[in-house]
Amino acid sequence: MKQFWLYGKHTCISALKNEHRLCYELLLSPTFYKQNYKEIKNYIEAKNLKVIETNKFNTILAPHVNHQGIALKVAPLKNFELQEIIEKSINKSTILILDQITDTYNIGSILRTSACFGVDALILTYKHSPCENASIAKAASGTLEITPLLYVTNIVKTIKLLKEQGYWCYGLDCHTNQNLDSISKFYDKRIIIVGSEDKGLRRLVKENCDFLIKIPISPNIDSLNVSNAAAIVLYSIYNK
C-alpha cells in the first residue's frame, strides 16, 4: 500500500484515534507538541509511533498547505466491500454514489456531510475519481475515518446489485420535473446519486435511477455546487 502524509489537527488526530488506520511517522511542530501532546499521547503510544519535532513541514508537504503544525504518514484505509455495507444495513440505509466527481475538496466536504447525516457508505469509481489522499482528508476534517469509502468498477452494476437488496435509487438531475420537496418520504433503503458539475449524471446511470429529482433554485443560477447539493438532499432525507 502506498503511504502518504495527512496534515491538519482534526485530520491527524482522527486518524490516530482510528484503530484501523495504519500510521508510520508523526511530525509535530514544537508549538503543537507543547500545546497538544498530552491530548494524543495515548494514541501515539498505542500505535508505537516515531515522533519528530520539526518546523520543516515544507520539505514533505505541498507548499502553503494549512498543516497546523502536525503531519502523519499513513497507509490508505482498506476498501470496504459492498456486501459488508449491505450486511450492516438490514432495515434502514443511505448510500451515496458520486458519478465521476473529481474535485477533492468537494469529495471531502461530502464525506463530512455524510458523517453528519449517518450515510452508511460513499461510493466512487476506480476510474475518474481520485484515490484517498491528503486533500480529501483535510476537507473532510476527520470524517474520512468515519464514513466508509468504496471504490467500484461499474456504477450501473453497483446500482443493480443494491436494488436486488431492496434499495431504491434517487438521482439528482437539474433537468427533471420532480422537485426534492415533493417527496414526502424516502424509501428506508435508498441510494442517492450525484453527478459531476459539468456533465451531471451519465445517461446509463440516469436510466437506472428509480427517481430523478432536482433542488428548486433561482432561475438566475444554473446549478448548485455538488457538495452543497448533496448536503441539501441528505438533510432532507434525515429530516423526513
Q: What share of the chain has pLDDT > 90, as a percent?
A: 80
* pLDDT at residue number 239: 77
For the residues 174-181, what does the mean pLDDT come to?
A: 91
Report which listed range, 5-14, 73-82, 191-200, is most confident.
5-14
Query: How much is the CA Rg of the chain, to the nearest whole Å?
Result: 19
Average model confidence (pLDDT) for the chain? 93
Q: Give the per-residue pLDDT at 1.
A: 60
Q: Is the pLDDT of residue 134 over 80?
A: yes
pTM of the predicted model as reported, rounded to 2 decimal places: 0.92
Q: What is the pLDDT of residues 76-122, one digit of tens each?
A: 998 888 999 888 877 899 999 999 999 999 999 999 999 999 999 99
pLDDT value for 88? 85
Same CATH topology for 4-74 and 82-238?
Answer: no
**CATH 3.40.630.30 is held by the domain 4-74:** no
Lowest mean pLDDT across 152-161, 172-181, 218-227: 218-227
Output the CA–CA distances (angstroms, integers) from residue 199 to 94, 131, 217, in the order listed. 24, 21, 18
| Domain range summary for the chain, segments of one domain joined by + | 4-74, 82-238
Instruction: Look at the domain 82-238 and name its fold.
Output: Alpha/beta knot (3.40.1280)
